[in-house]
Structure 1
């Protein structure tokens, strides 16, 4: 993957939400923007978690009413992040090691600036 960096292929801006938002509202926003994940942030725009379409499948399978639950109740809290200058090969290795398909991108102050997905990596490789 040469020296290509996250900054070159990440999606920015990224849809961010707060943990207190209703799950159904966030699902509608994801559907509207045709995306599979949102980064959950605090008031300083620092990543607190990530909510993916897989989390929604789990929520539904568990019989949870998405109008009665928040994003914080179902997000993944232990997240892997990357900086914009991280190489794509390093991020791909982290994604594989952690069995994840989305990595929030954060700046030097840990504020969310973008997201890199497995789809972004696939696009890079296909156009390589």
Structure 2
């Protein structure tokens, strides 16, 4: 099966952890610490995608106090995470695709834009999944062409 014939819905992740714009960065901190994900879609009260936070965004904030002693750095990060809102940190202009789009379109987005996650939305803009570069690599790696004989 060619990548033009494979739709995103066949390989996307459908159980997606999310945060809301009004959540504090402490919530993001807890999610990233407790799960093996690198991107958090930000959704409004209806479930529409309004932004995304990457682990890189998170690290750029959590490493803001490198000159502090480790014990003081942790306390400073804690105060910062409790005071900053997700909407202050999130990327607002987010590329999205639909489940029906082909994975070749997604691969082009990844290549051209150098990001690693695309929220997948229905026609109403509601989040229904996420596609990552890992999902694409996993798909291609498991094709017969790549499997050892």
TM-score range, shorter chain: over 0.9
Residue in structure 2 matching 1:10, options 9, 12, 16: 12
Q: Secondary structure at the match of 1:67?
A: helix
Aligned: 1:96 with 2:111: yes
| TM-score (ref. length: structure 1) | 0.93
| Distance apart, 1:2 and its partner CA | 4.1
Which one of the candidate residues 53, 56, 63 is aligned to 1:54?
Answer: 56
Q: Runs (4+) of structure 1 moved beyond 4 Å?
A: none
Q: Is 1:86 paired with 2:88?
A: no
Larger Rg: 2
In the alignment, structure 1 segments of 5+ residues that lack a partner are none
Give, in angstroms, the shift of residue 61 of structure 1. 3.4
Q: CA RMSD in A?
A: 1.3
State the TM-score, normalizing by the size of structure 2: 0.80
Tell me how many residue pairs correspond in the alignment: 128
> 2:72: which partner in 1?
none
Can you give the 5+ residue segments of structure 2 that lack an aligned partner in the other structure?
A: 66-76, 144-149
Selected match of 1:24 from 9, 26, 41: 26
Task: Give the Cα separation in 2 of the matches to 1:13 and 1:113.
Answer: 8
